[in-house]
């Protein structure tokens, strides 16, 4: 049950972030972070990022309601979150600190990524099914 709640929590939490990146990036990114999204290419990239986020969210929701793919969903969540956090930490080191909200995202991504890893590890050690070939 805790794995289901966690996957749903991550899914619900990332929907507004995904939409802020891609639904109307010129408006949301300009308002939130003072980023000018004024070319088709940048809009395209931001919508692709939104698609990536939404695709991962679909996997997490499926894992929340299908025990067979719960384990792969937790691993995907961990890789996704820790990958984002690692990229942000690299940027902090190379570029300096960004807007405070992006620092908060990095902390949350790290915490959620390690939590997903711990939940997966616990479910494997408990003998819970994680996936079938």
* Alpha helix stretches (DSSP H) within the chain: 2-22, 25-33, 40-65, 70-95, 100-125
Closest by alpha carbon to 104, among 24, 27, 17? 17
pLDDT band at 128 (very low <50, low <70, confident <90, very high): low
User: CB-based contacts of 124: which residues, under 8 Å, 6+ apart?
Assistant: 71, 130
The answer for residues whose C-beta is within 8 angstroms of residue 35's C-beta and 6 or more apart is: 29
Sorted by sequence, the CB contacts under 8 Å of residue 63 that are 6+ apart come out as 3, 7, 69, 70, 71, 72, 73, 74, 76
pLDDT digits (tens, 9 = 90+) for 44-95: 999 999 999 999 999 999 999 999 999 999 999 999 999 999 999 999 999 9
How far is 34 from 17, CA to CA, in rounded Å?
16
31: number of Cβ within 10 Å: 11
Q: Domain extents for the chain?
A: 2-125
- 114 CB neighbour count, 10 Å cutoff: 14
pLDDT in tens, 5-51: 999 999 999 999 999 999 999 999 999 999 999 999 999 999 999 99
Q: Which of 64, 77, 73 is nearest to 1 (CA)?
A: 64
Residue 108 has pLDDT above 90, yes or no: yes
Rounded mean pLDDT, 110-127: 92
pTM: 0.88
């Amino acid at each position: 049950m805790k794995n289901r709640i966690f996957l749903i929590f991550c899914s619900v939490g990332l929907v507004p972030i995904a939409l802020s990146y891609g639904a109307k990036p010129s408006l949301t990114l300009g308002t939130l972070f003072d980023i000018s999204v004024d070319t088709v290419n940048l809009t395209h990239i931001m919508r692709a990022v939104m698609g990536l986020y939404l695709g991962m969210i679909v996997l997490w929701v499926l894992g929340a309601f299908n025990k067979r793919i719960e384990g792969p969903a937790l691993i995907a969540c961990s890789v996704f979150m820790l990958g984002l956090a690692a990229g942000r930490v690299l940027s902090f080191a190379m570029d300096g600190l960004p807007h405070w909200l992006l620092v908060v995202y990095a902390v949350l991504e790290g915490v959620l990524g390690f939590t997903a890893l711990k939940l997966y590890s616990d479910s494997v050690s408990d003998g819970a099914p994680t996936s079938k070939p």
